Structure 1
Amino acid sequence: MFVLNGTSELKRVLVCPPTYLEEAAPINEISKKYADQPLNRKKLTAEFEQLVEAYQQAGIEVEQQTATPEMTNAVFARDFGGCVKEGYILGRFKKELRFPERRAYENKMKKLGVPKILEIKEGYFEGGDFAFLTEKVIAVGIIDRTDQKGFEELKAGLAHFGYEVYPVPADPRYLHLDMCFNLVDDHLAVAYKEGLPAAFLKLLEKLEIEIIPVPEEAIFKHGCNLESLGAKRVLSLKQNTEVNKALRAHGMKVIELDITETLKAGGGPHCMTFPLQRG
């Protein structure tokens, strides 16, 4: 078994150091703000090491992708695809900047012994849009990097394995679903409710998933970009003071990361993590 769902115990992850993330390429709303500012190499490295250390201290095995000059944004390992119990889905990037990552991550997954059960070939699909709601129910954002065709390919492919896949259209400025919605425990999520479609909110209600609400500006400060470790533990950012307070009030153990530089490129802890084994 590889990844059972989105909130059971996380056991193994794949990450990539930000070795060549030298400036915030303006490919999303956040990175546009820092497009003319070179990123602090020393700080980027320290933040990545902090993430790795947090996983290791939590007893989670960390695998690393080798960084190469042509893969500037590979630090956001989540985006090359998705992983379920049976194996992984190879996505398809929309931005040319990220094209070299696809085969590199495919080769890495082969080396790690994770079978490819599905490949998106016609549309676009990125892993930041992939979210388990239960073991057999998956939400997929159709926001900026995943399109309708990619969603349909994913839905049809996963139907063979018994998964129900639901679309979540939202404002393209939000980039990925994990920027405006994230499940942190079996029946608890953090989200900007007003930016999510009514049909999706009804589905969450049906599945008895409670939402900790955040304002729209929290999206662009990575207030929703959290990583569940299972057993009521979650990685969050130190700057998410209100979100972290609310999570603790719901019985969650919040592990705070003091990450600020990597965020300028447009991604947080969830974006930086591809789950390999959970359950």
Structure 2
Amino acid sequence: MNNNFSLRTRREGGGTPVLRNWGADCDYGVLRDILLGPVDHYRWLETSSVSKKSIRRNLAYDYDVAKAQHAEMVSAYESAGVVCHFHAPDQALPYQVFARDSSVMTPYGAIITNMANWWRRGENFRALETYERLGIPVYDYVTAGHFEGGDFNVIEPGSVLIGWEGNEGRSHEPAALQLQGWFEAEGWEVMLTDIDPFYVHIDLMVVMLAPKLAAVCLESTDPEVILWLKSKQIEMVAVPFQDTLELGCNVVALGNDRILLPQTSKVLKEKVRALGIKVYDPDVSMITPGGGGVHCMCQALRRDPG
């Protein structure tokens, strides 16, 4: 399976070779291998509006329940034929479970991001170790500012939606522009959008479900993004704003008309089943109050081409 590990494969000006055995050119091709974070040291911290509300309202966190729910999610992936890989646990990294943010997978290798919260910055180093262990080359490193993987949203092959939230948010515009330059040089179309820091990342509002099909919160997604998706003839399944607050739009396409979503995502579950999509719905209700859903907890390592 292994490509030769390299600390940096990106070619200046584009033309970086596509990996032979790893990588993903979309977020809906059949998912073969996935990267997950360990739940071992997870606890809720004030990282987002969701987790701040959970803590403010004195909701009870139970580690044993979170651990069991994480295992249920892993079992769901395995039952769908997905091979699960894991970061090595680090007791200094309580939010390591959200593997989406410390790296981004591309057809050319992994991008190591640049985390905003000081208690998460060490996740990037553990991610780098994981890619070395798996033999997956690194494409490059975000150096122009903070940027997290939840703001890198591949819509279809050669087309990516990149979010940023400003200096008070988790991804900065200079970092988003750095990524835009890299991928435009590779021949990709890049749509940049600023979002309110309240939403943390773009994948709380827009997630691909299948070719030409996306789950979208129409109330909170910028109208320019909606128009851009429509210009690509992408059908949108509307997810109510209240559901997004419970990470109900933060879902994972498994390919072949199958998705994994949280058990609490009632509206989207009903809508996609009506479209003939098979649903895997693990209970992650002890994990999501900390600010991340099932999409936040994973990074695709290998998907079939879109």
Aligned to 1:227, which of 233, 242, 252? 252
Gaps spanning 5+ residues in structure 2: where? 1-18
* Residue in structure 1 matching 2:64, options 42, 46, 67: 42
- Contact between 2:25 and 2:154, CA under 8 Å: does it hold in 1? no
Give the letter for the 1:197 counterpart. Answer: D
Paired with 2:275 and 2:184, the residues of 1 have a C-alpha distance of 34
Work out the CA distance in 1 between the residues paired with 2:135 and 2:191: 29
* Partner residue, 2:75: 53
Q: Please point out which of 53, 75, 88 is paired with 1:33.
A: 53
| Partner residue in 2 for 1:116 | 138
Query: Do the aligned residues in 2 keep the contact of 1:21 with 1:39 (CA within 8 Å)?
Result: no
SS state at 1:199 partner: helix
Partner-residue secondary structure (3-state), 1:117? strand
Q: Which amino acid aligns with 1:5?
A: C
Is it true that 1:107 corresponds to 2:132 in the alignment? no
The reply to whether residue 69 of structure 1 matches residue 94 of structure 2 is no
Aligned to 2:4: none
Question: If the length of structure 2 is used for normalisation, what is the TM-score?
Answer: 0.88
Instruction: For 2:150, give the aligned amino acid.
Output: G
Equivalent pair of 2:73/2:283 in contact (CA under 8 Å): no
Structure number with higher helix proportion: 1
SS state at 1:131 partner: strand
- The 2-side partners of 1:261 and 1:135 are apart by 34
Match of 2:296 in 1: 271
Alpha-carbon distance between aligned partners in 2 of 1:60 and 1:150, rounded to the nearest angstrom: 31
Match of 1:166 in 2: 191
Secondary structure of 1:239's aligned partner: coil
* C-alpha RMSD over aligned residues: 1.2
TM-score, scaled relative to structure 1: 0.96
Residue 37 (structure 1) shift: 4.8
Q: Distance in 2 between matches of 1:31 and 1:195?
A: 19
Q: Which residue of 2 aligns with 1:79?
A: 101
Q: Give identity over the alignment, percent.
A: 26
> Which residue in 2 is equivalent to 1:184?
209
Aligned positions, number = 278
Kept in 2: contact 1:87–1:116 (CA 8 A) = yes
Secondary structure class of the residue paired with 1:42: helix
The answer as to 2:151 corresponding to 1:129 is yes
On the 8 A contact 1:141/1:176 being kept in 2, the answer is yes
1:81, 1:125 within 8 Å by CA — same for their partners in 2? no
Indicate if the aligned counterparts of 2:31 and 2:300 stay in contact, CA closer than 8 A: yes
Match of 1:140 among 138, 141, 162: 162
Q: Secondary structure at the match of 1:89?
A: strand
